[in-house]
Chain A
Amino acid sequence: MRLLSAAIVLSLLAVTASAQTPLHNLSPAARTVRPVLQPPHLGPAPRLYTMQQRAFAVQRLLNLTTTPALGQPFSLNPSAPYIAGVGELDYGGADVWSGDVKSGTAGGMASFAASGPGWIGVLFNARAGQRYALDCRLMTYAAHLDYDVAPRMVNGTVPVGQDGHILVAVDKASTDQSVEVHLYPDTPVFWVFYGCDVSPF
């Protein structure tokens, strides 16, 4: 037990010659890096839509005369960014707070500095002949976000709602295929992402 304690103390003091280097031996850059230990302080995350609210939102987005019947959605967020064989979230240039231990937000959050070209990618296996509605939650001062859909090479702009929701509709394809929808601002702006619900319709 004493041996164990001694070894741990030694390792934590960073003086074990074989594996560790005292801080004063590090480069100036290494010494000046400040850890980011807490996420930016924000208000409460946007609330999830009910199925009914989401259907109304899709109806408004597409100017439909009837409320669409949405299928069961799958949800992706920073805490649960991957569903095997179904979908995943990818991030570019992100600060990702994956859980609630640090962010205090169930589902986590991803923030993007105004200085960088950060983006979110929502990938999913789209079934042939099926449309999809992406209902995503975020906080930003931007009035809208740009999006593109790969590999279909389509793109556009969607408004950010007052309630922090944006919706993107993905049209149907003739065969099953993996689809990646990217979201990103076209102006330098800080933004925070909370998750997406993807519904077939």
Chain B
Amino acid sequence: MRLFAAALVLSLTAASAGDFSPATSPARMDVNHAIAARVAPGLYTMQERAEALQRYLHLAFLPTLGQPITLTPAAPAVPGLAELDFHSANVNTGNLYITWMRAGGEAAILSLDPKPGSLDNGNMTIAIRARASQRYDFDCRALPSPKPLSYSVYPGNVSGTVQIGQDGHFLIAVDKVATDRTVTLFINQITPPFTRSSWFFYGCDISPF
């Protein structure tokens, strides 16, 4: 027992006082307070999701959506089937430390453009194993965004922009592929040169239709 205590004390006092400490850094505290102040967008029902897709694609009829795959920062992967990937992001997956945080977690994605043409923008990708001849509706939730998001779909390098709605949802439709294969959706915030801002991501429900 004494040995244990001695080893622990030794290891716990080894660092110098000036070391970087993420837990107590002002930036981390700011992040925590900001998380507490945000209200995550609610989930759509299947009916609401179908209606949103109908509006988005200007369809004459309500599309029939299949069973969705749900990905969130707390449950970001379905093995062999789908995953969320984040780049230059701060990701809080749960609600232990910030006890009032919503279920599902939150990813804060920093959009930073220190100089035009640089590659430092935070972004995220969603990869799915797409079935041949199947279209997919990505119903995603995020805050805030006065600025639009840009997206690209690979393979195909199909690109566009999308605005997060008042209810915190944005939709992207991915067209069918010829054979079963991995399809990757790349999303980032459009940031003017020399500016920085963050956007906050809560999850996607991905439905075949």
Contact = CB atoms under 8 A, between A and B. Distances in A.
Interface in B119-165: 119, 121, 123, 125, 127-129, 135, 148, 150, 152-154, 156, 158-163
A69 interface: no
B113 interface: yes
B180 interface: no
Given A37-B154, A62-B4, A28 B117 contact: yes
Contacts of B162: 19-20
B61 to A, nearest CB: 8
Nearest to A85: B96
Interface stretch (A46-54, A119-127, A135-143): A119-127
Of the candidates A33, A125, A153, A184, the one having the most CB atoms from chain B within 10 angstroms of its own CB is A33
Contact of B14 (A34, A100, A156): A156
Given A93-B90, A98-B84, A81 B74 contact: yes
Interface of B: 3-4, 6-8, 11-15, 19-24, 28, 56-60, 63, 73-97, 99, 103, 105, 113, 116-119, 121, 123, 125, 127-129, 135, 148, 150, 152-154, 156, 158-163, 173-175, 182, 184, 186, 188, 190-193
The 9 nearest A-B residue pairs measured at CB: A99-B83, A99-B77, A14-B160, A88-B94, A98-B76, A150-B23, A35-B186, A82-B74, A7-B57
